[in-house]
Amino acid sequence: MTSSDLVIVVDDDDAVRDSLQVLLETAGYQVRGHASGAALLADVPAAGCILLDIRMPEMDGITVLDRLREQGARLPVIVITGHGDVPLAVRAMKAGAIDFIEKPFDQDQILASLREACANHAREAAGREDAGGRAGARLASLTPREREVLEGLMAGLPNKTIAFDLGISPRTVEIHRARVMEKSGARSLSELVRLGLAAGIEPKAR
C-alpha cells in the first residue's frame, strides 16, 4: 500500500474519525470517513484499506466483516478495539480482519500498523495457500507449555490468569511469553494472534 492509497475510517465517534482523517491525510493517504457500518457497506470501494471500530451501535464490526465477506469484498480490514478486547479482536480476525489496534493508540502505532497490515495483505494474497504452513513453521519450536501460554494470550487473558490456570507463577508466564515472542518473530500481540490463527491454534477456552 502506497501513501497515495485510500483508507476508509469507520467509527461512530466523530472526534475519533476526524482525528484519524487529519493524521492519515497528513501522512499522504486519501481518506474517506463513515459513521456506521451500514454507510460503509453502501459504498464499498474497489480498492483501499479499512480502519473499522469494533464496537458501534446498530451494527458492530463483526457483523460488518461478515457482510463484507458476503459481498465478496477483499479489502484489508484493521479493527480498532478497546483495551482488553483481545477476545473480540480474535473473533474479528476469524471473520476476516487482518490486524487489530487497541485503544488508546498513538499516531506512530496507527501508521505503522496500517503500513504493515496492508503490506502483509498484499503478500498473503499472492501466496495465501501457503500462509498456514509458514505460520506453523514459525510456531513449530514452541514447547507444550509455551503453546499453552500462547493459547492464553490469544484468549486475551492477563499473565496472572494464565499463571493460575496453568499452576505456575506470573513471572514464569512472563518468561514463557518472551520466548513465544522470540521464537515466533512476532513484534506485537496482534501479529502473534494472526500467526496463531493462521497456524490453526485456537484461543484457550474458559
Q: What are the distances in angstroms from CA 110 to CA 19, 79, 105?
A: 12, 11, 7
Q: What confidence tens digit (pLDDT) does each residue in 110-142 have?
A: 898 888 766 766 655 555 445 556 677 888 889
pLDDT of residue 53: 93
Distance CA 167, CA 173 (A): 10
pLDDT of residue 36: 95
Q: What confidence tens digit (pLDDT) does each residue in 60-85 have?
A: 999 999 999 888 888 889 999 887 78
pLDDT of residue 126: 52
Domain ranges (residues) in the chain: 6-126, 131-198
6-126 and 131-198 share one fold = no
Distance CA 44, CA 141 (A): 41
pLDDT of residue 67: 93
What order of strands is seen across the sheet that includes strand 6-10?
A: 30-34, 6-10, 49-53, 77-81, 99-102
pLDDT of residue 3: 44
Residue 109's nearest CA partner among 190, 181, 184 is 190
What is the CATH code for 6-126?
Answer: 3.40.50.2300
pLDDT of residue 4: 47
How is residue 129 annotated by DSSP?
Answer: G
97, 117 in Cβ contact below 8 A?
A: no
pLDDT of residue 85: 82
Strand partners of residue 144: none
> What fold does the segment set 131-198 form as a domain?
Arc Repressor Mutant, subunit A (1.10.10)
For each successive 10 residues of the chain (206 residues), what is the average pLDDT?
Answer: 74 92 92 95 89 91 92 88 82 87 84 78 55 74 94 92 95 95 88 86 78
Q: What are the distances in angstroms from CA 2 to CA 33, 84, 99, 110, 153?
A: 19, 31, 18, 15, 32
Residue 9's nearest CA partner among 124, 110, 116, 115 is 110
Distance CA 111, CA 117 (A): 10
